[in-house]
Amino acid sequence: MQTQCHLSVLIHEQAKKYGARPALTFRSFGSLQWKSVSWNQFSLRVKQVSNALLNLGLKPQDRIAVFSQNCVQYLYTDFGAYGVRVVSIPFYATSSEQQIQFMVQDGGVRIIFVGEQEQYDKAHRIFALCPTLERIVVFDPSVRISTHDPNALYFSDFIKLGEDLPRQPEVEKLWSEASMDDLCNILYTSGTTGESKGVMLSYSQYDAALKANDKCVPVGESDRVIDFLPFTHIFERGWAYLALSEGAQLIINTYPKEIQQSMRETHPTSMSAVPRFWEKVYIAVKEKMDKSNAIEKALFNHALSVGRKYNIEYLSRGKRPPLPLRLEYAALNKSVLSLVRKQLGLEKPNIFPTAGATVSPEVEEFIHSIGIGMIVGYGLTESLATVSCDVKGMPYTIGSVGRPLSGVEIKISDDHEILLKGPTITKGYYHRDALNKQVFTEDGYFHTGDAGYIKDGELYLQERIKDLFKTSNGKYIAPQSLEARLLVDRYIDQIAVIADKRKFVSALIVPEFRALEEYARENGIPFTTREDLCSNKKIHDMIMERVNTLQQQLASYEQIKRFTLIAHHFSMENGELTNTLKLKRNVINKNFKDVIDKMYEE
């Protein structure tokens, strides 16, 4: 059962309830060994952080920043800050120096907590440029602090400032004064266009979101929830806090690239993820099946067909499967489908919320068919994550983003924009009074910028309004939907659709080079570099054939007519991706202008 209270005391209330039970499972920086801390230990560490912050002179609604990948110290710091009414501002661990300098200055940050060497070095370099910044606290004890840096200290030394709880009476007084109207976080959006904006998130938003999600998201104290996305991402942050409020055990995965290995080692029951994670699972399983013998392939395809019938044709439509199907599914689920899930470390899967981008219907159907409870949803930083989601046990439609969350009012404007109102919606952007007047309607609804519609109680997304492309022939193209359709191909790793003000649709495709190199060797195609592969006509024709197969159900004007294979990935370093790995289309168009123009030459 959910513990409903102010976030400032949540961990301490859970410690009273669960005591010595494991709360957090994690690996220390540089270690391969998983270890756990109990709710009691979690609570004590949070109190020590609160005391230490007071000893460093922090006052209510002062601001700290956390510039780190996921780690146990991150949670200690956040909840310690909440305990003394200090605002915590999360930074993506991949943020550039320019980005963190802007956020520190815009947010008036006094202390920045950093993870590893890369984050420390960036914080150290911008320190002198940020007049409000007083301290750098370093999580990873192996970080080399500059000998010319009197303002940095290790987290272990920071904790000593509050180790014996010298200011605990003041901490408890601040607990009693904590208000739901206090600012909890300022979360800077990564921004696919323009400058980053600080979304203000209050305790009342968290309170409303946690209570509303409790009604429809069945995660509980028997769950082992692994973190995949960074805590900076509102989806992961809200999901992690929900799990903690329900008494679930949190497994902290520090490095996203290690997630599949971490899953196999820790056996989680739930995890939030973006569609790309499941697309890669789909591709990997399909690839393995393609290499299986005829009997194994036939057995798996039959199991998949039965799983689809059971989970999609019956359960997703709210119908009870007939007895023969239930029996056949139970047998195949135990003998075949469970083996697929075991490869992922998901022996006891519960629910797997998925949002952040368009989910390919093909992938969504596949994940349900193998017996994994994908919960597709939609949300924004400004709505404190969930706006809508599938509800376990209720009918859901492949392709929708679920049913609106309790308390969230959704209105569809005349131009199909999704407008939002409710207790989980932000009051606006930090220090952006002019912008705040623009992003709300006169009757108080927030402009999401997303187009959509509601049918039979479920919300469907169409596209970001500003992302819709209009060809020179006047036809509208939805690039994200087209990209999601093609990313299920094993030879495609990244894709950027080009169409705006162009005669036809084209694309820049970054291949999955491991698979492409294997294909080239098997087919006697010589190469020494990735550029060789990308310029080879046989490779191009093979991928064109696969692209045409995937887009054959689209109208002719929606189909990709030409593409160019790119030999290196779109990256944050080149400004082509946001911190949440969304495409910055204006930057890609600029960086690849010559390549794009060449595709439109007659």
| For range 251-276, the mean pLDDT | 94
Q: Which CATH number fits domain 10-178+217-271: 3.40.50.1370, 3.40.50.12780, 3.40.50.2000, 1.10.10.10?
A: 3.40.50.12780
Measuring CA to CA, which residue among 378, 323, 391, 357 is closest to residue 495? 357
Query: Has residue 191 got a pLDDT over 70?
Result: no
Measuring CA to CA, which residue among 66, 63, 65, 130 is closest to residue 98? 130
Query: Has residue 476 got a pLDDT over 80?
Result: no
pLDDT, the chain, mean:
93
The secondary element (H helix, E strand) that includes residue 505 is: strand 505-511
The confidence score (pLDDT) of residue 194 equals 54
Instruction: Residue 17: count other Cβ atoms within 10 Å of its Cβ.
Output: 13
Report the share of the chain in percent with pLDDT over 70: 99
Measuring CA to CA, which residue among 447, 217, 497 is closest to residue 351? 217
* CB of 390 closer than 8 Å to CB of 344: no
Task: Please state, in angstroms and rounded to a whole number, the distance separating the CA atoms of residues 338 and 347.
Answer: 7
pLDDT-based confidence at 473, cuts 50/70/90? confident
Where is mean pLDDT largest: 160-174, 358-372, 469-483?
Answer: 160-174
Query: Has residue 206 got a pLDDT over 60?
Result: yes
The domain ranges of the chain are 10-178+217-271, 273-372, 468-599
* Whole-angstrom Cα Rg for the chain: 25
What is the dihedral angle through the alpha carbons of 232, 236, 241, 244, rounded to the nearest 10 degrees? -120
| The model's pTM | 0.87
Query: Has residue 464 got a pLDDT over 80?
Result: no
pLDDT tens digits along 532-558:
999 999 999 999 999 999 998 888 888
Task: Please state, in angstroms and rounded to a whole number, the distance separating the CA atoms of residues 600 and 602.
Answer: 6
Helix (H, G, I), strand (E, B) or coil at 427: coil
Contact residues for 161 (Cβ-Cβ < 8 A; gap 6+): 51, 52, 55, 56
* CB of 232 closer than 8 Å to CB of 92: yes
pLDDT-based confidence at 207, cuts 50/70/90? very high
Instruction: Residue 546: count other Cβ atoms within 10 Å of its Cβ.
Output: 15
The confidence score (pLDDT) of residue 581 equals 80
pLDDT tens digits along 278-328:
998 999 898 888 888 999 999 999 999 999 999 999 999 999 999 999 999
Helix (H, G, I), strand (E, B) or coil at 512: coil
Identity of residue 23: A
Query: Has residue 3 got a pLDDT over 90?
Result: yes
Q: Which CATH number fits domain 468-599: 3.30.420.40, 3.20.20.20, 1.10.600.10, 3.30.300.30?
A: 3.30.300.30
* CB of 424 closer than 8 Å to CB of 408: yes
Helix (H, G, I), strand (E, B) or coil at 506: strand
Measuring CA to CA, which residue among 553, 574, 415, 438 is closest to residue 494? 574
Mutual orientation of helices 294-308 and 323-332 as an angle, nearest 10°? 140
The confidence score (pLDDT) of residue 190 equals 65
* CB of 40 closer than 8 Å to CB of 237: no
Task: Please state, in angstroms and rounded to a whole number, the distance separating the CA atoms of residues 270 and 375.
Answer: 11
Among 66-70, 165-169, 226-230, 421-425, name the one with the lowest average pLDDT. Answer: 226-230
